[in-house]
Amino acid sequence: MAQENSIKKNFFLKAGPRAVLLIHGITGTPNEMNHLGKAMHKAGFTVMCNALPRHCGSQDDLKKVTWQEIEAACVRDFQELSKEYPQVFVAGLSMGAMMAVHLAYKFPSQVPGIVALAPTLFYDGWGLNKGKILLEFGWSIPFIRNRLGIREGWPYGLKDKYLRETIHRFYKYARAKNPDYKDLALFGSPYFPLACLYQHHQFVKLVKNEIPLVKTPILLIHAREDDMVSLKNSQYVYARIGSSDKNLVILEDSYHMITIDQEKEKVIQESINFLNRLSA
């Protein structure tokens, strides 16, 4: 574990009194939030992003993670930031976006705004392997979900051809056993354990009930061609959230990983404009 911990890409960039807690996606890595985090920092925000529990390590460890562990870690990070910074925004990608909504529910008077990037309630994207749908019938059985993993496949959430090819080279030769931890910290897990999918499903059931009670201003950004989770996910949140201050930005040249894909600069600009407006 010492080797794994030493190469995690956690980052904490200190700036002014306005802070942002960034939350990456399940099976992902802080590296997918790095470009956005640096831009926010340059714009004057203090930014924190830590690896989620049991991430950037072995498949055996990742399969053991629970949504409660992830929630506890994010709550801890939020509370640590809140001790020092008077404004702490929450922003996340995929499952991280749903965790950001959940934090706004738990701390309604402390979270001034949410940035929800490709929020993921259900996996219905055009690029999903049909086998993922079939496996949903087995995730409720511990024996099955604790043993099966779905290998990530083309297009890996990316429309950017160069970056997609780079990740493809890693995923093509990645091993479930004895992985290269340095590459895991950069690219995330090449396998999506069914156990993680189940934990995500359980967490989403909770957050769906919370969404109408969240009054916090929210910015949703989603790609029209998202290969993993369709635009219906953001539309679901937009239609049901209790906030009157809400906006949905649709990207026309990206897939799921919008923080690193072809319109990453638009994601940055929309996010910073939103944060600046709320903290003016």
Q: Residue 67 belongs to a domain with what CATH number?
A: 3.40.50.1820
Total of domains in the chain: 1
**What domain range includes position 38?**
2-279
CA gap 252, 126 in Å, rounded: 15
Give whole-number Cα distances, 272 to 81, 115, 150, in Å: 19, 10, 35
List of residues 6+ apart from 72 with CB closer than 8 A: 53
C-beta separation of 22 from 37 below 8 A: yes
Kindly report, residue by residue over 5-48, the tens digit of the pLDDT. Answer: 444 589 999 998 999 999 999 888 999 999 999 999 999 999 99
Query: What's residue 47's pLDDT?
Result: 98
In the structure, what pLDDT confidence band is assigned to residue 86 with cuts at 50, 70 and 90? Answer: very high
In the structure, what pLDDT confidence band is assigned to residue 186 with cuts at 50, 70 and 90? Answer: low
Strand order in the sheet with 87-93: 11-13, 46-49, 18-23, 87-93, 114-117, 218-223, 246-251
> What number of other Cβ atoms are within 10 A of residue 69's Cβ?
14
Tell which residue, 269, 261, 273, 275, has the closest CA to residue 16.
275
Query: What's residue 5's pLDDT?
Result: 41
DSSP states along 66-96: -HHHHHHHHHHHHHHHHHH-SEEEEEEETHH
The answer to whether the peptide bond before residue 190 is cis (omega within 30 degrees of 0) is no
In the structure, what pLDDT confidence band is assigned to residue 146 with cuts at 50, 70 and 90? Answer: low
